């Protein structure tokens, strides 16, 4: 999703929250204050993918001292229909104030809580090569509640060295480290031929979520959640759109086609 509209102009727009908006939002949250499983199921992948973009904008608004924002403003800024934004926000359980919209701080908290980014998820990274080192150096993950607590590599020449402020550890240390530190997530940046075995080692270490950057389709127990990232997919969309644009001269952007 590309941020096409000027944030400040959009943020200054009208703040309206309908009665329907408020009613829908109420039903999405359990008495315990957590999103109902029904709400999570209904949210769907597309919604979950949009939430970080709202969050990014909301953090900017919060930093600028803005207290309220309307669903309409969020929709305008993200080139979305207001009804989509309303449905997206409903899953977080947030309740808006009529004519004012949502309290920015509350909305940030609600989205973070829904995504599980309000606490801190500790991760280990396997494979401190080009990509692994770049991910280790990205401080922005902390804004998403992710802290890479340990980095591991199979290369004895790398073990004991410091990369992006973390000491690279031997694979033999992974299981005790992960268990001791209650690690739940593993970032996999090893070469493709090593991916399956490395993923199995992560599972053995008690990790049940794997952020897989390798091109390998991992074969793991069903209880393990694997999210595979492939930059080539985004590049393919961009290349395709560029070709169309070049042919038609229409000037349409890649994100409008999605
Ligand atoms: P690299 O060769 O620079 O680094 C790989 C590292 O993994 C090395 O340090 C190596 O010693 C280590 N390693 C090898 N076997 C291991 C094992 N069993 N356990 C732990 N560490 C091990 O490679 P790279 O360029 O950083 O790429 C890493 C992976 O990321 C590759 O699978 C590559 O295809 C993938 N990749 C994906 C994307 C994407 O879009 N998702 C982009 C770039 C690279």
User: Over the stretch 6-59, which tens digit does the pLDDT of each residue have?
Assistant: 333 333 333 333 333 333 334 444 444 445 556 666 678 889 889 999 999 999
The DSSP H or E segment spanning 153 is: strand 146-153
- pTM across the whole model: 0.74
Q: Which two tokens stand for residue 94?
A: 């947030």
Who contacts 147 (Cβ-Cβ below 8 Å, separation ≥6)? 120, 121, 122, 123, 141
Q: Identify whether 127 is part of a domain.
A: yes
Same domain, 109 and 170: no
CA distance 48 to 88: 8
User: Would you state the torsion angle of the CA atoms of residues 135, 136, 141, 147, taken in this order, to the nearest 10 degrees?
Assistant: 140
* Residue 221 CA to ligand 1 centre (angstroms): 23
Q: Identify whether 156 is part of a domain.
A: yes
Q: Identify whether 253 is part of a domain.
A: no
Same domain, 111 and 130: no
Q: Which residues constitute the domain of residue 169?
A: 121-232
Residue nearest to atom 1 of ligand 1 (CA): 129
Mean pLDDT of the chain: 82
CA distance 198 to 124: 12
**pLDDT higher than threshold 60 for residue 2:** no
* Strands (DSSP E) found in 156-208: 162-163, 166-170, 185-188
* Residue 240 CA to ligand 1 centre (angstroms): 27
Same domain, 228 and 135: yes
CA distance 176 to 197: 17
Quick one: which of 155, 145, 97, 93 has its CA closest to 123? 145
The DSSP H or E segment spanning 69 is: strand 68-69
User: Is the shortest distance between the CB of 189 and ligand 1 below 6 Å?
Assistant: yes
Return the percentage of the chain with pLDDT > 90, whole number. 56
Residue nearest to atom 25 of ligand 1 (CA): 130
* Residue 156 CA to ligand 1 centre (angstroms): 15
Asked whether 243 and 220 are in contact (CB, 8 A), the reply is: no
* Structural domains counted in the chain: 2
The per-residue pLDDT for 93 is 87
Atom of ligand 1 nearest to the CA of 215: 34
User: Is the shortest distance between the CB of 191 and ligand 1 below 6 Å?
Assistant: yes
**pLDDT higher than threshold 60 for residue 5:** no
């Amino acid at each position: 999703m590309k941020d096409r509209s000027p944030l400040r102009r959009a943020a200054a727009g009208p703040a309206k929250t309908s009665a329907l908006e408020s009613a829908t939002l109420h039903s999405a949250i359990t008495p315990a204050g957590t999103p109902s499983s029904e709400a999570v199921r209904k949210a769907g992948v597309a919604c979950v993918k949009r939430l970080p973009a709202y969050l990014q904008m909301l953090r900017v608004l919060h930093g600028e001292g803005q207290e309220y924002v309307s669903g309409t403003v969020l929709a305008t800024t993200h080139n979305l229909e207001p009804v989509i934004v309303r449905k997206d926000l409903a899953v977080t359980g947030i309740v808006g104030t009529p004519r004012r919209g949502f309290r920015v701080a509350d909305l940030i908290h609600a989205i973070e809580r829904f995504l599980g980014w309000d606490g801190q998820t500790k991760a280990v990274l396997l494979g401190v090569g080009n990509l692994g080192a770049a991910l280790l150096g990205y401080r922005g993950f902390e804004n998403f509640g992710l802290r890479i607590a340990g980095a591991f590599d199979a290369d004895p020449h790398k073990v004991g060295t410091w990369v992006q402020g973390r000491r690279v550890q031997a694979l033999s240390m992974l299981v005790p480290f992960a268990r001791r530190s209650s690690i739940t997530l593993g970032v996999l940046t090893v070469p493709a031929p090593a991916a399956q075995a490395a993923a199995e080692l992560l599972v053995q270490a008690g990790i049940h979520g794997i952020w897989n950057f390798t091109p390998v389709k991992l074969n793991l127990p069903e209880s393990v959640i694997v999210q595979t990232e492939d930059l080539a997919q985004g590049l393919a969309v961009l290349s395709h759109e560029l070709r169309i644009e070049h042919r038609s001269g229409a000037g349409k952007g890649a994100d409008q086609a999605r």
